[in-house]
Structure 1
Amino acid sequence: MRKIIESTFVSLDGIIDDTRPSTASRAEPQHWGQPYWDEDHAGYAQKLMDSGDAMLLGRVTYEGFAEAWSGRDGDSAEWFNSMPKYVASRTLTETTWNATLIQGDVAEEVAKLKEQPGKDILKWGTGELDRTLVEHGLVDEFHFWYFPVIVGAGKHLFEGAGFDTTHLELAEVNRFASGIAVHVYVPK
């Protein structure tokens, strides 16, 4: 069975992104995270990318990734652009950028995706889709990339998710010279 692996950048004060509408663009991970992106970061990201053959995205992450990656060239861009994507959204009626809109019950459809043959399914970003995934026990690994930065404003990890207390087990810690520490958690 395929695994769903969630990968999320997190500041030390728990910020994962800017709020919408924007209140502090400094809270966007591409602003506070970029000074720490080095060979260790790239190597770990590549390892994750190599483990998957599909992406699961919520609407906000899907739209952000499509804007950021669809016009780029190069190895990582080729991977992002060619990778099949499954998008959970209550508002989109169609997708582009090599994506399929999940129809019907999201939990049921994601469970079916996990049963299909193939490599892992990668999910970036933490948002509304996580409520459904966590409630139904569909996330197999969380990769939280803790960056050595305090942002001071923005959206916090799992803010507004609204699910019950969920206990996880620390499976692995990867430390980079830049100060990033990736904590890998699995369900207990």
Structure 2
Amino acid sequence: MRKLIESTFVSLDGVIDDTRPSTASRAEPQNWGSPYWDEKHAGYSGKLMQGTDAFLSGRLTYEAFAEAWGEREGEVADLMNNMPKYVASRTLTEVGPNATLLTGDVAEEVAKLKEQPGGNILKWGTGELDRTLVEHGLVDEFHFWYFPVIVGAGKHLFEGAGFDTTHLKLADIDRFDSGIVVHIYVPK
């Protein structure tokens, strides 16, 4: 069975993104996170990509990644652009190359993806889709990248998720010289 791995940037005050429509652009991870992106950060991202052969995302992350990576070239950009993507959305009617729109019951669709042969499925970012994934026990690992920054405004980790208390087990910790600490959790 394939593993679903979620990887999310988090500030020390729990911010994961701006609010939409944006009233706090400083809350966008590319604004508060980029000063800490170094070789160790890139290496860890590369490590997550090893063994991964598909991406899962909601609409917002899919659109942000398409915009950020669509015009780039090079080994990493080619990998990001060419890897199959599965997009959960109630509003999109079409997606770009190498992307499949998940229709119907998202939990069932993701469970079917996990049953298929292949490598890991990587999901960047935490958002509305996580309510369904966590409720149905579909996430096998959470990689929370805690950045040494207090943002002060924005959307918080699992804000408004509405699922029951979910206990996790700390599986590992990775520390970067930049101050980033990645906590890896698995279901208990």
TM-score (norm 1): 0.99
Is 2:15 aligned against 1:15? yes
1:50 corresponding residue in structure 2:
50
**Superposition map of 1:19-30 within 5 A:** 19-30=19-30
Is 2:121 aligned against 1:133? no
| Pairwise CA distance, 1:97 | 3.7
| Pairwise CA distance, 1:51 | 2.3
Matched letter for residue 15 of structure 2: I
Structure 1, unmatched stretches of 5+, are none
Count of aligned residue pairs for this structure pair: 188
3-state SS of paired residue (2:31): helix
Distance 1:7 1:165 in 2: 20
Distance 2:124 2:73 in 1: 20
**Superposition map of 1:81-96 within 5 A:** 81-96=81-96
Point out 4+ residue stretches in structure 1 off by more than 3 angstroms: none
Distance 1:51 1:16 in 2: 25
Distance 2:52 2:122 in 1: 6
3-state SS of paired residue (2:81): helix
**Superposition map of 1:146-185 within 5 A:** 146-185=146-185
Distance 2:155 2:79 in 1: 28
Deviations 1:10-59 (A, max 9, x none): 00000000000001101000010001011110110000011200000000
| Pairwise CA distance, 1:160 | 1.1
User: Is the 1:143–1:182 Cα contact (8 Å) retained in structure 2?
Assistant: yes
User: Is the 1:70–1:97 Cα contact (8 Å) retained in structure 2?
Assistant: no
Percent sequence identity is 80
Distance 1:119 1:180 in 2: 27
Matched letter for residue 160 of structure 2: G
Structure 2, unmatched stretches of 5+, are none
TM-score (norm 2): 0.99
What is the RMSD computed on CA atoms of the aligned residues? 0.6
Matched letter for residue 179 of structure 1: G
